[in-house]
Amino acid sequence: MNIENNYDLTYLVNDTERLVFEELGQVLEEEQYKGVCICQDCVIDMATLALNRLEPRYHASLLGTIYAQSAGNEQYTEKVREAVNFAVKKVSSNPAHS
């Protein structure tokens, strides 16, 4: 059975993605990261790196809503922050853009 062809997997939402995107957006506006490249390649690299350092937080969205109700606890928010800061530093010090 082919799961992807037979089921609507948009009901499956990874809260971590939204948390990382929000955090990344904020962090990139910080004074300390002024001058960091925010081209498509670099930002995608940052998001990828941060997401791969975090445990995913999936939930089944029965109404197909994009936003989750519970964003997660303080501890997890802190982990997201750490992962995003690590990713921005790492990518900006060694950008892969052409």
Question: Applying CB under 5 A, which residues contact Zn ion?
Answer: 37, 39, 42, 95, 97
Question: Minimum distance between the CB of residue 87 and Zn ion, rounded to whole angstroms?
Answer: 13
State which residue, 13 or 50, has the beta carbon closest to Zn ion.
50
Instruction: Check if the beta carbon of residue 97 is closer than 8 Å to that of residue 42.
Output: yes
State which residue, 13 or 36, has the beta carbon closest to Zn ion.
36
Question: Minimum distance between the CB of residue 37 and Zn ion, rounded to whole angstroms?
Answer: 3
Instruction: Check if the beta carbon of residue 31 is closer than 8 Å to that of residue 69.
Output: no
Three-state SS for 74?
helix
Question: Minimum distance between the CB of residue 4 and Zn ion, rounded to whole angstroms?
Answer: 32
Expressed in angstroms, the distance from the first to the final Cα of the chain is: 41
